[in-house]
């Protein structure tokens, strides 16, 4: 039995070989994944991790394809999609248990349905809960890490572990969950509130996002903010707003967004990221740090 057959037998959804990541990322760019896998439950996920260890294959965990630049050469090894099979929300009192594949907007709205408040800021965040936890996603002054009670993961050695609140640490755009394993679900502590009030607040946040953010394909904010200095303001001040390389453009609507104007490659986007960073060094002596994850190989 070869590797393809052995792996295929473990997954109800089968495997996709040489799957174009451009079909799965919000920037709509990216080369092929050697193997694109969509486990239907935690048991299949454990089997994949065991398989990767047995065959010494690298693993990349993938959610909704936002906040991510996959390079044109693609990703070697196994790309594991924590998707719809891990999208669920369960309510118990002031606590929600949600799967790592749950879209953040859906999570915020489900909380409101249950009369719970505290994650209205998450509406409009384009990723899923797993990625949001890894990078402590936030908006409008709120951060997901402030609401986390526990996180369940599949460890790198294929064991199911649960990290309690005291074992977790969140800070600006990062957490200590990096390297701990594959997030499966999390428990969130919210507060009792009014559903209509929560929905009104979310409508306001969505309206604000629509007025500020570009409509063309993007991956959200490209650079981390510097304390007291929004990255978008810096990029605008150094004259990079509207800068183009190939099909990639620094958005004229929000300078901390790079958009795909229709024919961009990952190489175009990466070159534009580097050009903006270089200009910030030259003009202000600042080192802008990418907020997006850059993965894969150049072609």
User: Do residues 235 and 226 make contact, with C-beta atoms less than 8 angstroms apart?
Assistant: no
251 catalytic, yes or no? no
Query: What is the rounded distance in angstroms from the CA atom of residue 36 to the CA atom of residue 24?
Result: 10
221 catalytic, yes or no? yes
User: Do residues 163 and 153 make contact, with C-beta atoms less than 8 angstroms apart?
Assistant: yes
Query: CB within 8 A of 254, min separation 6: which ones?
Result: 212, 213, 214, 232
User: Do residues 210 and 125 make contact, with C-beta atoms less than 8 angstroms apart?
Assistant: no
291 catalytic, yes or no? yes
Catalytic residue among 38, 139, 221, 251: 221
Query: What is the rounded distance in angstroms from the CA atom of residue 45 to the CA atom of residue 11?
Result: 9
Catalytic residue among 173, 195, 209, 237: 173
- 254: tokens are 């929000």
Q: List the catalytic residues.
A: 173, 221, 291
């Amino acid at each position: 039995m070869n590797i393809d057959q052995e792996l295929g037998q473990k997954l109800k959804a089968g495997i996709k070989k040489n799957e174009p990541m451009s079909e799965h990322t919000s920037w709509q760019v990216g080369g092929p994944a050697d193997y694109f896998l969509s486990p239907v439950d935690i048991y299949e996920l454990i089997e994949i991790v065991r398989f990767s260890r047995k065959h010494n294959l690298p693993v990349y965990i993938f959610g909704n394809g936002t906040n991510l630049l996959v390079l044109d050469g693609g990703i070697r090894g196994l790309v594991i999609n924590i998707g719809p099979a891990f999208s669920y929300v369960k309510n118990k009192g002031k606590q929600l248990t949600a799967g790592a594949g749950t879209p953040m907007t859906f999570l915020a709205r489900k909380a409101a349905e249950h009369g719970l408040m505290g994650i209205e800021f998450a509406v409009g965040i384009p990723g899923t809960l797993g990625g949001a936890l890894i990078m402590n996603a936030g908006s409008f002054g709120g951060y997901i890490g402030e609401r986390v009670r526990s996180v369940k993961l599949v460890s790198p050695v294929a064991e199911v572990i649960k990290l309690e609140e005291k074992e977790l640490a969140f800070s600006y755009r990062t957490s200590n969950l990096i390297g701990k394993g594959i997030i499966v679900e999390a428990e969130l502590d919210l507060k009792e509130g009014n559903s209509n009030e929560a929905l009104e607040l979310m409508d306001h946040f969505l309206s604000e996002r629509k007025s500020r953010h570009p409509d063309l394909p993007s991956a959200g904010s490209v650079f981390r903010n510097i304390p007291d200095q929004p990255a978008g303001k810096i990029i605008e001040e150094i004259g990079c707003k509207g800068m183009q390389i190939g099909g990639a453009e620094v958005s004229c609507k929000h300078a901390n967004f790079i958009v795909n104007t229709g024919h961009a490659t990952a190489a175009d986007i990466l070159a534009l990221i580097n050009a903006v960073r270089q200009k910030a060094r030259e003009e202000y002596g600042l080192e802008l740090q990418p907020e997006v994850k850059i993965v894969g190989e150049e072609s």
